[in-house]
Amino acid sequence: MQSIVSIKNLSKTYESGHQALHSVNLDIQSGEILALLGPNGAGKTTLISIICGIVSPTNGTVKVDGFDIISDYRKSRELIGLVPQELTLGAFDTVWNTINFSRGLFGKPKDHAYLEQLLKDLSLWDKKSNELRTLSGGMKRRVLIAKALSHEPRILFLDEPTAGVDVELRKDMWAIVEKLRQSGVTIILTTHYIEEAEEIADRVGVISDGKLLLVEDKHDLMQKLGKKQLIIELKEPVSELPESLASYDLELSKEGNLLTYTYDTKGEGTGITALLQAINDADSLALKDLQTTQSSLEEIFVNLVHSEDDV
Amino acid sequence: MNIHAVKAIYKFEMLRAWKTLFQSLASPVISTALYFVVFGSAIGSRIENIEGVSYGLFIVPGLTMLSVLTQSVANASFGIFFPKFTGSIYEVLSAPISSFEILIGYVGAAATKSLLIGLIILLTASFFVDLRIAHPVWMIAFLVLTCLSFSLFGFIIGLWAGNFEKLQVIPLLVITPLVFLGGSFYSVSMLPPFWQTVTLFNPVLYLVSGFRWSFFEVSDVSVGISLTMIVVFLVTCLGIVSWMFRTGYRLKQ
Q: What is the pLDDT of residue A268?
A: 66
Output the pLDDT for position A194: 73
| A contacts of B16 (beta carbons < 8 Å) | 92
Higher pLDDT, A76 or A227: A76
Q: What is the DSSP letter of A154?
A: S
Residues of A with Cβ-Cβ distance to B81 under 8 angstroms: none
Residue A175's pLDDT band, with cuts at 50, 70 and 90, is confident
Question: Is beta strand A33-37 parallel, antiparallel or unpaired with respect to A203-208?
Answer: parallel
Q: How far is CA A13 from CA A57, A73, B37, B228, in A?
A: 8, 21, 60, 44
Q: What residue of B is the nearest CA neighbor of A133?
A: B86
Cβ-contact A88, B86 below 8 angstroms: yes
pLDDT in tens, B27-69: 878 888 888 788 777 777 777 777 777 888 888 888 888 889 8
- Buried/exposed B22-52: b ≥16 CB within 10 Å, e otherwise: eebeeebbeebbebbeebbeeebeebeebee
Domain assignment of residue B45, yes or no: no
Residue B88 reports pLDDT greater than 90:
no
Q: Give B96 to chain A, closest Cα distance, Å.
A: 4
The residue-averaged pLDDT of A85-105 equals 88
In-domain check, residue B253:
no
The total of structural domains in chain B comes to 1
Provide, as residue numbers in chain A, all residues whose Cβ is less than 8 Å from the Cβ of B248.
Answer: 56
Residue B187 resides in a domain: yes
- B83 within 8 A of B251, measured Cβ to Cβ: no
Position A74 scores a pLDDT of 92
State residue A278's pLDDT score.
Answer: 86
Query: Does B46 reside within a domain?
Result: no
| H/E run at residue A167 | helix A167-182
Q: How confident is the model at residue A308 (pLDDT cuts 50, 70, 90)?
A: low
- pLDDT-based confidence at A1, cuts 50/70/90? low
Residue A296 confidence (pLDDT): 65
Q: What is the pLDDT of residue B49?
A: 75
Distance, in Å, from the CA atom of A133 to the CA atom of B88, rounded to the nearest integer, reads: 13
* Buried b / exposed e along A222-238 (16+ C-beta atoms within 10 A): beebbebebebebeeee
Domains of chain A: 3-223 (3.40.50.300), 227-294 (3.30.70)
pLDDT computed for residue A295 by the predictor: 66
Phi, psi of A292 (to 5 degrees): -120, 150
Domain of residue B33, residue span: 3-37+52-247
Q: Does A74 touch chain B (CB under 8 A)?
A: yes
In this model, does residue A138 exceed pLDDT 90?
no
> pLDDT per residue over B102-153, tens digit each?
999 999 999 999 999 999 888 888 888 888 888 999 999 999 999 999 999 9
Establish if A100 touches chain B: CB-CB under 8 angstroms.
Answer: yes
Higher pLDDT, B153 or A300: B153
In the DSSP assignment, the letter for residue A127 is G
* pLDDT value, residue B148: 93
Q: Is the pLDDT of residue A79 over 60?
A: yes
Residue A301 to residue A296: CA distance in whole angstroms: 9
Report the distance separating Cα A163 and Cα A190, nearest Å. Answer: 10
Confidence of residue A60 (pLDDT cuts 50, 70, 90): very high
Share of chain A above pLDDT 90, in %: 32
Between residues A210 and B46, the one the model is more confident about: A210
| A·B CB contacts under 8 A | 85
Could you tell me if residue B47 is inside a domain? no
- pLDDT digits over B188-223, tens only? 888 888 888 888 888 888 888 899 999 888 888 888
Angle between helices B55-86 and B99-125 (to 10 degrees): 150
Top-confidence residue, A148 or B171: A148
| Residue B57 belongs to some domain of the structure | yes
User: Does B199 map to a domain?
Assistant: yes
